[in-house]
Structures are given as C-alpha cells and as structure tokens.
Structure 1
Amino acid sequence: MAEGKALLASLQSQFDLDDFRKLHWEGSFEDYLNIVVQQPQVTRTAHQRLYDMILSHGTEEVYENKEKIVHYRFFTEFGAKLGESVYGLDRPLMQLVNAFKSAAFGYGTERRVLLLHGPVGSSKSTIARLLKRGLEQYTRTDAGMLFTFAWKGDDGGWIPCPMHQEPLLLVPKELRPALLAQLNAQKPDSYPYEIQIKGDLNPYCRHLFNERMQRYQGDWQRVLQDVKVVRMVMSEQDRIGIGTFQPKDEKNQDSTELTGDINYRKIAEYGTDSDPRAFNFDGELNIANRGIIEFIEVLKLDVAFLYDLLGASQEHKIKPKKFAQTDIDEVILGHTNEPEYRRLQNNEFMEALRDRTVKIDIPYVTRLRDEIRIYEKDFNSARVRGKHIAPHTIEIAAMWAVLTRLSQPKHANLTLLQKLKLYNGKTLSGFTEDNVMELKREAAQEGMIGISPRYIQDKISNALVAHPEEDNINPFMVMHELESGLRHHTLISDESQLQRYRELLSIVREEYEDIVKNEVQRAIAADEDALARLCSNYIDNVKAYTQREKVRDRYTGNYQEPDERLMRSIEEKIDIPEGRKDDFRREIMNYIGALAIDGKRFDYKTNERLQKALELKLFEDQKDTIKLTTLVSNVVDRATQEKIDVVKARLIRNYGYNESSATDVLNFVASIFARGQTKK
C-alpha cells in the first residue's frame, strides 16, 4: 500500500497543475476583450493559425542547384518527435506552405480545396497527420491559444458552442465596425494580420442569442452575462477543431456525416425538427471549424458530398439540413492518387471542383540521401534489437527504390546510376549544376512513378525475420527479398515493368560489389606507415624525374634513374594516360612547392586522387601477401590469418561492420578475386 501511495505522490508531483489551469481558463467577454487587445493573435483565422504554427518551428534557407529553397523544420523536427519526419520534399512543401501563406493574407487560396496529389506511399497522409498533430500541440501554447464560448442554461449548467466559434461573433453586426477600428488601432505593428469578424453565429447559438435578446429586451450587455469565454484546445480525439473524413461505400454515404443531422429524440421536446436545439451540429465540417479537416481519398466522394465541399471552400459556408447556410472557418485539405485524379480531369461534371482546387504534387523522393533517412528512422540500432544491419544494406535498398522512380536520361554519356549520383550532390566530369537542373526539367514527372517506400520497408522487415539464425542482415538478403517480392507486387502491371525493375536490381548489385571491394581494398591498404613510405618513394622519383636528376637508393647509397615502373604503377590506378604523365607529375611538384613557400609540408591525404592511387597500389602489393583468395578454400595459415584479422578489425572500426558481417564481406570479396572479377 505504501508503495502505491509513493507512486501516486511521485506522479502527482510531475503533473503541471498551473498548465492545466491555463488550458482550462474561463472568463467573461470583457476579460476576453482584454486578451484580444494584448494578444490579437487569438483572433486569427484557421489559415493564419496554421501558417504561423508551421513558422513557429523555424525555417532554413538552402540552395539546391543554384535555386533557393526554404526548408520548414516543422516537417522534419516536429515530425521526428512523432516518428513521422518528411524528408526530401522541400519543394512540394514550400509550395504547400506558400498556399497557406497566401490564404493567411487573404489572397484567394483560403477559398480553395488544397489537394495533395501523388502516388501511393509518397507521404500525403503523413503531411496531413503532421498538420493536425501540429495544431493540437500549437493550441496548447501561449503563442497558439484561441478561445470559444458557452451559454448559461436555465438549469445553471453551461452549454458549449457546438461549432467552437470565435467569441467576437457575439458582437452585433452594427457594432462590429466601431470595435474593429479600435482593436486594429491598438494592435502592435509586429502583428501582420488585420483583426476581422467574419460570418455569423451558427443556428444553435443564434437561437440562444436571439432568445436572450428578447428576454432582456435588447440589452446586449445583459446577454453577455449569460456567456462565458473558455480556452479552446484542438483535439482530433475530442472532435474539437480537427476533423477527418474517409469515404465509405457509395451506397452508404450520407452527407449528414459532414454537416450534422436531426436529433429525433429531441423533436418531441421542442415540437419541430427545424428547431436548432433538436439538431446535432456534429458533422466533420462542423466540428473542424476554426481548425483543419482532412479528406482521405477526397475524389472518391459521392457527388452530394462534393456540393458541400464546393460551398465550404468557396463561400466558407455549409448547409445543414433544415437550416440556413452556416459560416465556417477551416482549412480543407484533401489527398488523392493518380488514377482518381485522372478520373476528375476526364469528368466534365467536375469542372466546378477542378476550378476550386489547388493541386500540389507530392512525389516520391528522388534524392538518395533523403530516401536513406526514411528507412533509417525505422531501422536503427535502437529499434532493431538483436540484429546488426550491415553497412550499405539500407543504402542499396534505397538506391534501387530511387532508380525505379527516375526517367532514363536523354544524355548519351550519362547512365541512370550516374544521374542518381548527380541528384544526390555528387560531381561528375562534364556535368555542372545547370546540367542537373536541365535533367530535372526534362523529367518533370520523375517521382510520380516507381516503387513505394512501403515496399522497401516491408522487404527489410522480411529480411530481419527470415534469418533467425543470423545476427545480422546484409544487402544480399534484402536484395533477395526485393526481387522475390516483385512477382507478387500488386502495383506492377506488366512484364516489361517487372523486367526493368530486375535489371535495376542488377545495376545496384554491381554497384554494391564495387563499394565493398573498395572498402576491403582501403582496409587492406590502411597501413599509415606503409602509405607514407610509398608516397615518399613516389615523390622522390617524381622530383628527380621533373628536375632531370637521379635518385639516391636509400639502401645502397647508389644513384640511379627515376623508377618509371613505380611511378606508372601508381598513376595508372587513377587512369593517368601515358601522354598526361608529365603534366600530372608537374602539378604534384608545383603543389608541393606552393606549400613549401607557405611553410607547410605536403600530406598525401590532402590530394584525394593521389591518396586513392597510393591505396590501390598498396592494396595490389599487399593482397598477395595476405592471400585473400585462400579464404575461399578455407586453407589459411597462421601468419595470413593474423593479417586478415587486422583487416577485419579495420572494417569493424572504420566502416561499421560487426564480426560476422566483416567476415561475410571479406569472404564475398575473396570470392570475387578468386573468380578474377577485379576491375581496374
């Protein structure tokens, strides 16, 4: 018992009572006016509040291919807290936020349905979900607070406004201009919006207002005494300010789900079904007032629903059954996929909806590093317990996914894999940032087709559970899952598409072989002292060659001609042709001379090409002493095993392998050398 009491006491000490009271603030209409004068942002429209919510998380300007892009941290940093960050979609998200900005300042998009359009699994639902969760969190802060009101009932209880309307709507229309003039005159210059009172009370509140005006013989101030203003915190679960509508079977769709329905149990009490007190204003458009409503697969809506949507977007009004048009203030966000959107375009009866729609394409990610981040948030050491994910496993899966989304380049000297690398920020000889921009313009529909991230996630998950005896998964396991699942993929419609995806897997497999061969080569040649000695020997010979001198043998002391065979064996590793060797050697010596003038010493690590050449040369010299190919036959002597263990330790320390995955990759590379499949 004592332990339970202690636990409760500990929990109670962590409960923020002040925050609870702040979120459940209540006051008079006069108190609310004081808040409006001091903090006019409490009167913002739904679009203004949503736009400010996104900005409150900060922005960052980045340049991509010479184009300035605004990165909104809300979609990554706030999304990370929910485990739903959106990566690689800065351009579409910038277009979306610009639409919110335009709507916030009343430039026209506040009267449009914002339609997120893209292939399945491209983050449309995630973006909508983040906006809803963001509003929930924002309205709990001082910066995002807003208020609604409740009526005092005849029994002394309080009746909340069913549509959570703005308390300023209680001001009679004839008094609004004078009030707004005073409020706007007092608002700080830093507040960017004009305070406005738009629309009228909903039928229920209008009925109560008029009833009290008659009861108190037109004394508006007395009517306000029957009103209390309360803090409003948006919540999808509590159906306050956030709505979600998902179409059902066409035969079962009912427009009252959007605009509310008659409460038949109360008709007997009030005598008529046209009394607003006998009506439930609890449709999705009603409860989402002042916030946001998400329409899932919006273009699957029945025509009757679309009429409601047209009025809600253009006129900011809805038509509940038996009542006049009712004002609403909310962001209408829908999302759909390509087949449904094509149906909209081909349907002449949908012209009105097309005219009131702002389409924002949400494509698949086409930048490799962003695709990798999508999977890393789901498959990391914290979440994948007991399994080590070998280096490049996620990278290779992401590489294949991105390749399926890219269009074949028209440039004759550019492969699809090179195009992927250009998009990922790598520089290729003969291609500038302008060329990359041109490639993207040529393929405007890139990212609207291809493999969904969900497929990749499913196959990585399969690989994790398909090999219970293994303590790690590697790229080959994942590639096997990717390929074996293609035949049963529901979105692959023809044999040619299937064949293309398999060919892209072959490209990725070859790229992985090159990557691991390079890693093993560097691990073998990672002897710093040996590299330094080789570099010193090379530089001595190059110096003697360029100055037409002889080289002194460090062992015999005799002078001899520069070792052309040594110099060429290094230079050929980085494709320096015979005709360019003199230029390359002079460049090296000029660079060393420039460093000497500044009092600096030459370090081969500062020259990436030379470092690579030295590492490849050292690898060539040492691979025979290590006898890597003997791993295939499992006949390894003790001295060789010690050298292999050193290489394995370097793979673990420098490249992120564990014991078993390092052994696997060494065996794999050994099998390549055993087959004689090395590339120069």
Structure 2
Amino acid sequence: MENTSNTTSFKGSFKDWLHAKGRDPKQTESSKSRLLRLIRAAGENAANTIRVRRIQGDDSLQAYNAFSMFYGVERSIFTVTNSFLVPATMGGETDKQALVLIGPPGAGKSDYVTRIKALYRTADPIPYLKHSRVHDNPLNLFFMVQLVAEKQADAESENDQSIDFAARVDAIKLEILESLGLASLLDFNDASLKSILTNAGQAHTLAGVAKLDPNDLVSAVVAGLGLPRSTRNAVGTPEPLVQDLVLGVYQRPGKPVAIGDYPIDSMRFTDDFSGSNGIVDVAEVQPLNFDINEWIGSENMANMSRFQEGDPRLVNLNGAFNKGNRGLVILTEGLKNPPEAQRVLLEALQGRRVKLPTPLAGSCFFDGLIIIHSNEGEYDKFMKVRENEPYADRFYRIWFPYPLEMSQAEKVIRKFWNSSEFAKPVAQGGVHVDPDVFPYLARMEVLTRVDKNSPVPLNIKVDAYDGRSMRDRGMGMKVSVQDLRERASTREGLEGQSPRETNKVMQSLAARVQGRGDTVTTALLRDAFRDWFKQTITDEKKLEFMMKIIGNELDEVRKKNLQQLVLASLVDGFKDECQQTWDKYLDNVRAWASNSSVKSSAGYSKSQVGGDESFMREIESDPDWGVTSAEAPKFRAEIQAAVNQFITEHGAKNIPYTCHQAVQKCLERFVLKKVRTGARLFSSSSARSDEDRRKLSAAKFRLVEAGFSEWSAEELLREAEENSDFLVER
C-alpha cells in the first residue's frame, strides 16, 4: 500500500483505504458537496459582505473570497451557494437539479463557470476504483457484496441441493463484511444506522447489516462510518468493467478480485489538453451534427472481433457524462441540443444514471454537477415546448444580471481593459487612460441598465444604487436603494450596455489615439460613443435615449467631476490634507468602535470617549453622499472592514485615504470646502500674471501626478479656461 498523506493521495487495497480514509467525508463526498466545501474553505470576504448587505438591504447576504473577482453579481453567487448547493448537500431536491445560468452577454456567466472549474482543480486528489473508466466512488463496491454472495451461493448450490440459498447469501455477505473489518469501523450507536436496522427488522449488529438489501446495506455503511447523508447520493452501482473484475466473468474468468483486495487509485480534477478528469466542457453543436456518443461513450470497434457479447470492453466510456462523473459537466448552450440528448440529461438528473452505449444494455451511475449556460430567449423557447415540461423541476435557474452598482461596473470594465495589450505603458506600445475614464464608462453603462420609469432623475438613481442614501434636490425626499429597487422592473439589469461592447469602443478609440496624444479621455470617449450608437442602433427611440444619456445625464456629471479635479489641482498640498483628514477620521472611527478615546500623534487633541461624533458626521453627511445618523454605524463598520481587507491584502500599516471610494470622495469635497476663496479660477489669458502662470503650471503637474497624461492635463486646463462655469464656489 502506498499512502502519501501529504497530498491525501492514496494507492492501495479497498480494505486498507476503508480503514485509513473511509471515515473522511472529503474522500467520498458528492460533487456538489465538494464545490460547497471548496467555496467555504476560501472564506467569507467581510468587507464585501458588509457593502453588499448595506446596499442590498439584506443582512443574510454573504460575499465569498472564492469569487472576489466578480463584481455586482454577489446576490446571484450567494443564491447559487446558499439556495442550490447547501440544500443539495443536505440531500434536498436541488441535488437532482442542473444549474442553469441565464443572463445578457458579458454579465459573467462564462467567467463564473471558469472559476468553478478552477476551484475543482484545487481539490485534493480523490480516490476511485482502479480500472473504472468513470472513476467510481470506492464505496460503490458495497453494491457488489450482494452480487458476489449470490454468485458464490449459486455455485455452491449446484453441488449441494440442500443449501438454503437465501441464508447462504446472508452468511457470505457477513463473511465479506467481516473480512473488511467493518465490525470495528461502524458505529452501531449512530441514530441513522439504528433507524435503518430497526425499520428492516434486523439486529443492531454486523449480522443485521449483512441481511439488508443492497440499497439499505450501502445506506447503513454510510451512516455507520459517520459520513454525511448526502454521501449516500454519491454512491451507486459500479461500472460494468469493475463489476466484471469482481465477479471474474470476462476479463479474468474464474479468477475474481476479492472486494477487500480491489485496488484503489487517486486522481486530480483536470481539464487540460492531455485529457479531462472530472471536468468536461461540452461545446455547442447543431442538432443535425449531434452525436450521442460524445455524451455517453461509444462502441469500441477494435474489440468487436476480440471479445464476446456482453464483455464490458466492447464499449469506450469516454463520453462527457462518463468523464464528468464525480465532478463537473458544462453544457454551453445546452438547451439547443436535440431530444435524444435531453433524455440523457434528464436521466442523469432524475435517475442518477447514464445509459451505456450499444451493444451493452443498462446504465452506469452518475454523480456530477451539471451547469447549463443559456440565454433568456433559448430558455423561454425550450420551456414553451410541451414535451420539455419534465425539465421544469430539474432546472435551477439563476439570473446573472449586469452590475447596477457603478463601483462594481467600473471593476468589470477595468478587468476587460487590462486583458488587452492597450493596457501596457505607453513606452511599451500601450495607451494612457485618464483616471476619470473608468468611472465615466461605468456610469454610462449603469444609466442604460436601470429602469427608466424612475421616481427620481436617473443620475440620482445611479448614485443611490452605488450605495449613497441622499435627497433628490428640490424634492426634500429621501432616496434609498431599497426604495428604488422595490419600484423597479424585475428585468432591471438584464438589458443595457454590455461591458464587451464598451471595451470594443474603448479599444477602437485607443487604436486611433496611438501616436496622437496616446491618451483616452472622457471627451474623446463621448464623441466615440456618439458615433458608435449612430452606426449600430437602428431603433430610433433607443438611439434617442442613448444620445440623451451621453449629452445630458453623463455630461452633467462629467463636468462636475472635472471641476473638482481642476479645483484639487489648484490646491497646494491637497493630497496631504486629504490624508491627514482621513487619518483623523479613521482614528475617530476606531475610537467609536472600541468606545475609547482617540490616541493619536497627528497633532490634534484627544477626543471624548467614542470619538469626535461631530467631526465624523461633518464628513459623513456630505450632501452628495448623505449618510444619516441612523446609517452611520453600518457605514463605519463598512469602513473598518475595508481597512482590514486592505491590510490583509497589502500588509500595509499606513492606510491611504483612497482605499475606500466613498470616503475618498467625501474627504476630497470636505477639504475643498476649506480652501475655496470665491475667486474665479482663471483670469483672462491676455492679462495672466506670473502667479497665474505658476499656479497653472503647478496645476498641470498635480493633474499628471493624479494620473492624467501631460497632453490630457493641458486639454483639461484648456477646457476649464474656456468654460465660464468653472468657479471655485458653485
């Protein structure tokens, strides 16, 4: 026996495995249980959890580290984990359902599946019955106890007609179980094991277990080993090749392999070019080109003349549902497959079995997570067909919408952009992107996705969806994301600008500016999107709406943001002032959380116990953010979680004020209020003094320092100079 415990890989006999690893749930868990365990092992993302709960208004939501690179779809991922996987691991109905992911293009469905595949690849090696072409669960051998006993009793009865066949079968079964050492492994005080034996009218002993029918015997062993109930759903009859080796019919006539001696090997989940083990991605095929053998395996033509009828070697179990057993089967556009394929799918879900290819009859056991990618149109079309009604109970549908939070939409856009060569530094052939570009694009996307029938202006709604709780100007009415979500259409987030399309326009612009400024700016993007919409949108009403978004809502915010950028560039020590204010605010938040006094060396006096509430509220009640007194505790808890997350990820003791976007904006506006003088930013260029020129030169330097290119900094200052609205007080 070879037992490499450092990797939990195992090679040896079934009996040795049973005593060394049989009680470890990870060895024999179901495919869905394995995924849930891998997700939970990565832990909860505390900062994201607090943010999502505050914005969604649902304290049950969780964000997971395993999916930290997914933005704006936390609720969908939580639903899969909590409402699909958890019930499945408890033996619930979802254990017999396929996960159907539906949503608009670019919403993250494919990336989500890719991440699940990656999680499976991180799993420890799992044991399987050697020679099994479907990587049978070792516990599947317990289904062979009855068959071996019947075969042996049948052979004995041919020589002795007086043998009580049934009694002899039970006696042989007991001998097999005793040879495996089950008497010392099973816990006969286990409530589930007791219940099984009592219901069958058997004694609470190993002899009682031996008298059970095959299904109850397996259930009793699973319970007695202390394994979760869901493990029982992952155990079934082994594939024909394994059965034949144990019974000694075709491959080793008259020389069966004893159950206790059957070899156990280990495998890792892979989906590389060398072959798939437990992870199979089935590409979309046209119905006319569909080959059922790609799903269930095929006839082995080379062996037709070598082996007799019934020999399991007459078929290759190399189909998607064979390779994906105990792991993951992904069906891309799986609802387009013909009825023949859908019957295989239904049987795998409902009956946990996959039929064997011709010429063998019967089926082999299947335990796997089936994920189907589709789109709304295909799903609706499929479910409208009367013959497909049985699938309604076998599909667990999850919507993957576009992000409706601007901060999350921005992360998605950055993710797309960073995957291209354009994201490289200019010196390496890339293109510079101004710091206000990604927020600009994110706002544009969300403006196209939110329900247009809104009780407040769309920009107010977008800000509310990003977590701000504010008052609509002139209405005196409090606006919260919860109120707006309740009034919105259920289709909100399922339509609108795709991040892929956004990236396409941005890359097209990037190609045009290479060698001509080498910079992507919001002004250039505004013009690029106007041209794009005119070229691609044929619906007049939609075109009118998109042009209105670009020219009104988006430009209004763009000007306001640029005004603030220019203002900040004209303030000496602006960043230092923001950082000092942040340090003071953070010290007070910590004092508030610990109900202690501020202990700081920053140069300001110690506050009362619990922090300086008036100072904290002055920052938090920023008119464009509007955190109320009632909301302040949750907001501060979110700040602390974000800081802790930053420390964990970066190992830094000095926390920059830019670590939390909401606070960054509040702090910058707070500092700007202190430095406004009421004078115009720019005097006439013809009457510009040396001091004016020094100020503008310093402003350009600070803009470059803030992330603008020299070319775009000059363009921005020129725009500010030509715009009469650029006042210090506004």
Shorter-chain-normalised TM-score: which range? 0.7 to 0.9
For residues 641-660 of structure 1, the aligned pairs below 5 Å read 641-653=693-705, 655-660=706-711
**Alpha-carbon distance between aligned partners in 1 of 2:451 and 2:222, rounded to the nearest angstrom:** 56
Does residue 1:95 correspond to 2:79, yes or no?
yes
Aligned residues between the structures:
562
Partner of 2:105: 120
Instruction: Report how far residue 437 of structure 1 moved.
Output: 3.9
How far, CA to CA, are the matches of 1:466 and 1:329 in structure 2?
Answer: 52
Alignment of 1:59-208 (within 5 A): 59=44, 60=46, 61-62=49-50, 63-64=53-54, 65-77=56-68, 85-98=69-82, 99-138=84-123, 141=124, 145-150=125-130, 160-171=131-142, 172-174=144-146, 181=220, 184-185=223-224, 187=226, 198-208=235-245
> Structure 1 vs Structure 2: percent identity of aligned residues?
20
State whether residues 87 and 95 of structure 2, in contact with CA within 8 Å, keep that contact through their aligned partners in structure 1.
Answer: yes
Kept in 1: contact 2:680–2:727 (CA 8 A): no
Matched, 1:661 2:705: no
Residue among 338, 341, 353 paired with 2:391: 353
- Give the alignment partner of residue 400 of structure 1, picking from 440, 444, 453: 444
- Amino acid corresponding to residue 170 of structure 1 in structure 2: L
Change (3 A) 1:647 1:164: same
In structure 1, the residue matched to 2:164 is: none
Q: Deviations for 1:320-353, whole angstroms, at most 9, x for unmatched residues?
A: 2332022100011101112112212332222122
**Distance of 1:455 and 1:131 partners within structure 2:** 25
Task: Note if contact 1:180-1:196 (Cα within 8 Å) is conserved in structure 2.
Answer: no
Q: Which residue of the partner structure matches residue 245 of structure 1?
A: 282
Query: Structure 1's 613 and 38: CA in aligned 2 closer, same or farther, altered over 3 A?
Result: closer
DSSP-derived class of the 2:285 partner: coil
- SS class of match (1:646): helix
* Higher alpha-carbon deviation: 21-30 or 442-451: 21-30
How far, CA to CA, are the matches of 1:417 and 1:282 in structure 2?
55
Task: After TM superposition, give the deviation of residue 280 of structure 1 in Å.
Answer: 0.9
Q: 1:126 to 1:185 in 2, by over 3 A?
A: same
Q: Residue 403 and residue 512 in structure 1: after superposition, are their counterparts in 2 closer, same or farther (change >3 A)? A: same
Paired amino acid for 2:526? M
Aligned pair in 2 of structure 1 residues 527, 102: CA closer, same or farther (>3 Å)?
A: closer
Which deviates more, 603-612 or 111-120? 603-612
1:228 corresponds in structure 2 to: 263
Tell me what 2:292 maps to. Answer: 255
CA shift for structure 1 position 293: 0.5
Q: Distance in 1 between matches of 2:609 and 2:35?
A: 59
The 1:103/1:475 distance shift into structure 2, 3 A limit, reads: same
Query: Is residue 2:333 matched to residue 1:297?
Result: yes
Distance in 2, Cα, partners of 1:265 & 1:493: 57
Secondary structure (helix, strand or coil) at the match of 2:723 reads helix
| Structure of larger gyration radius | 1
Correspondence for 1:540? none
Check the 8 A contact 2:451/2:488 in 1, yes or no.
no
Indicate how the Cα distance of structure 1 residues 256 and 363 shifts in structure 2: closer, same or farther if over 3 A, else same: same
1:30 aligns with 2:30: no
Structure 2 counterpart of 1:425: 467
1:348/1:317 Cα in 2 relative to 1: closer, same or farther (>3 Å)? same
Change (3 A) 1:393 1:599: closer
In 2, Cα distance between the equivalents of 1:433 and 1:600? Answer: 27
Q: Partners of 1:448 and 1:305 in 2: how far apart?
A: 29
State the AA in 1 paired with 2:136.
Q
Tell me: CA distance 1:231–1:178, structure 2 relative to 1, closer, same or farther (3 Å): same
1:97 partner letter = T
Deviation at 1:456, TM superposition (A): 1.2
Q: Aligned partners of 1:447 and 1:39: how far apart in 2?
A: 43
User: How far did 1:316 drift?
Assistant: 1.0
Number of the residue aligned with 1:463: 509
More displaced 10-residue stretch of structure 1: 447-456 or 658-667: 658-667
Query: Conserved in 1, the CA contact under 8 Å of 2:567 and 2:672?
Result: yes
Deviation per CA, 1:483-541, whole angstroms, max 9, x where unpaired?
3222444xx5622212212211122122101110122234335578xx9xxxxxxxxxx
Alpha-carbon distance change, 343 to 220 in structure 1, aligned in 2, over 3 angstroms: same
The aligned runs of 1:278-317 (5 Å cut-off) are: 278-317=314-353
Query: In 2, are the aligned partners of 1:369 and 1:424 still within 8 Å (CA)?
Result: yes
Q: Which residue of 2 aligns with 1:509?
A: 555
Distance 1:364 1:268, change over 3 A: same
Task: From the superposition, tell whether residues 488 and 292 of structure 1 become closer, same or farther in structure 2 (CA, over 3 Å).
Answer: farther
Structure 1 stretch 359-368 or stretch 316-325: which is displaced more? Answer: 316-325
**TM-score (norm: length of structure 2):** 0.70
RMSD of aligned residue pairs (Cα, Å): 3.6
Letter matched to residue 308 of structure 1: V
Change (3 A) 1:498 1:207: farther
Alignment of 1:531-542 (within 5 A): none
Letter in structure 1 aligned against 2:460? Q
Whether the aligned pair in 1 keeps the contact of 2:100 and 2:397 (CA below 8 Å) is yes
Instruction: Give how far 1:665 is off.
Output: 1.3
C-alpha contact 1:672 1:678 (8 A) present in aligned 2:
no
Q: Does 1:485 align with 2:529?
A: no
Match in the other structure for 1:415: 457
Name the SS for the 1:647 alignment partner: helix
Is 2:246–2:257's contact at 8 Å kept on the other side of the alignment? no
Letter of the 1:67 counterpart: D
Question: How do residues 614-653 of structure 1 correspond to structure 2 at under 5 angstroms?
Answer: 615=672, 619=676, 621-623=678-680, 626-627=682-683, 630=685, 636-653=688-705
Does the residue aligned with 1:67 lie in a helix, a strand or coil?
coil
- What SS does the aligned partner of 1:339 have? helix
Between the aligned partners of 1:509 and 1:337, the Cα distance in structure 2 is 33
Per the alignment, do residues 605 and 389 of structure 1 end up closer, same or farther by CA in structure 2, a change over 3 Å counting? farther
Q: Compute the displacement of 1:621 (Å).
A: 3.9
Q: What is the letter of the counterpart of residue 518 of structure 1?
A: Q
2:578 corresponds to 1:524:
no
Deviations 1:83-112 (A, max 9, x none): xx2111111111111201111111111111
| Structure 2 residue identity aligned to 1:168 | L
Residues 536-585 of structure 1, C-alpha deviations (whole Å, 9 max, x = no match): xxxxxxxxxxxxxxxxxxxxxxxxxxxxxxxxxxxxxxxxxxxxxxxxxx
- Contact 1:69–1:94 (Cα < 8 Å) also in 2: no
Deviations 1:91-149 (A, max 9, x none): 111111120111111111111121111111111111111111110112xx3xxx41112
- Give the distance between the partners of 2:439 and 2:468, measured in 1 at CA: 15
1:439 aligns with 485
- Partner of 2:496, secondary structure, is coil
SS class of match (1:377): helix
Secondary structure in structure 1 of the residue aligned to 2:398: strand
**Distance in 2 (alpha carbons) for counterparts of 1:328 and 1:467:** 55
Secondary structure in structure 2 of the residue aligned to 1:200: coil
Residue 451 (structure 1) aligns with: 497
Partner of 1:546: none
Q: C-alpha separation between the residues in 2 aligned to 1:300 and 1:179?
A: 38
Q: Does 1:389 align with 2:433?
A: yes
Q: Is the 8 A contact 2:445 2:496 kept in 1?
A: yes
- The Cα shift of 1:262 comes to 0.6
Q: Is the 8 A contact 1:389 1:474 kept in 2?
A: yes
Alignment-mate amino acid for residue 509 of structure 2: A
Q: How big is each residue's C-alpha offset from its partner over 1:50-70, in whole Å with a ceiling of 9 and x where there is no partner? A: 111111111244323431243
CA distance in 1 between partners of 2:111 and 2:616 (Å)? 48
